[in-house]
Amino acid sequence: MQKKIVAGVLALSAVASGSSFAAPISTLLGSTTTPQVQMGPEWFSRFDASLITSTQFNQLKTSPSVNLGLYATSDTVKITYVGTGASRDSNLFLASAGGALNTTTFWNPIYASGGTNNLGTYNPVNAANELFETRAGCTYPTAKAGNTCLASQVGKSREITGLSTGTQLVFGLQTIPLVYDGINLPNVEYFFTGPGTNNDDPKGWNDDAVHAHVFALDASANKFLVGFEDTWLGRGSKSDRDFNDMVFIFEGVAVDNPEPVDHPVPAPSTAALVALGLGLMGWRQRKQPR
């Protein structure tokens, strides 16, 4: 059983089941937030404090996962970049609109290019699907030099238009290598919203784990915080699993989550019932007046 956190009834029959299609994405809207504040222990973090509280930031760690995906509730979905707590740069992009993510189709060109780090040969993120560069204008080395820079896209928004109610949306995070000042993150990696199977691939390069958590800001208005974990979560992972490395506000979406699993009390066995009955009979006999 599954339930939807959504105002009204979402027509699942409207969800496209075919291949993904290109959805128009607006230019960046709004202006860079200033000042930007630190949240959590990372001195290099950059957040818009008007969009997220410290309580919400911390709750992303234990919030439900975006396990079954995001669905449009109108023809337009608005995404606002709240901030980053990660040292490395990354790109949020629209990986699929109109159907489930086809991991084979996504990964085959990367295999053919020789690996994830060969972005000069093949890069799945481009002007047509990119939404935000998370540390644009304030990379870790730049922040290290004085810690005064601003992440230029924090506080800005984009709109995805031309959608139908119920359109399934899958978002990807492309992480950029960072080997600097004791940080050793040498590879481009890709992590997606949706179930862990979205983070699996035919050659087993990815970790088959959920990488996005959701916090309802106003479920009745279809407004949610979505936070990403930007590092490998497979065997040997040293991730803090805080799911607030990159945080965004999604408006105009429904979020699927599994319903809590009920754990009914097991029915007592026949032998146990007989023993209980005999015990009660003996107790009643002892209570009879003599």
Within the chain, which residues score under 50 in pLDDT? 1-20, 257-267, 270-271, 273-274, 276, 278, 280, 283-290
pLDDT of 54 = 93
pLDDT of 241 = 78
- pTM for the whole structure: 0.81
pLDDT of 19 = 40
Q: pLDDT tens digit string along 105-141?
A: 999 999 999 999 999 999 999 999 999 999 999 999 9
Domains of the chain, residue spans: 2-287
pLDDT of 279 = 54
Who's near 59: CB < 8 A, 6+ residues apart?
Answer: 215
pLDDT of 33 = 97
> Cα(250)–Cα(141) distance, rounded to whole angstroms?
30
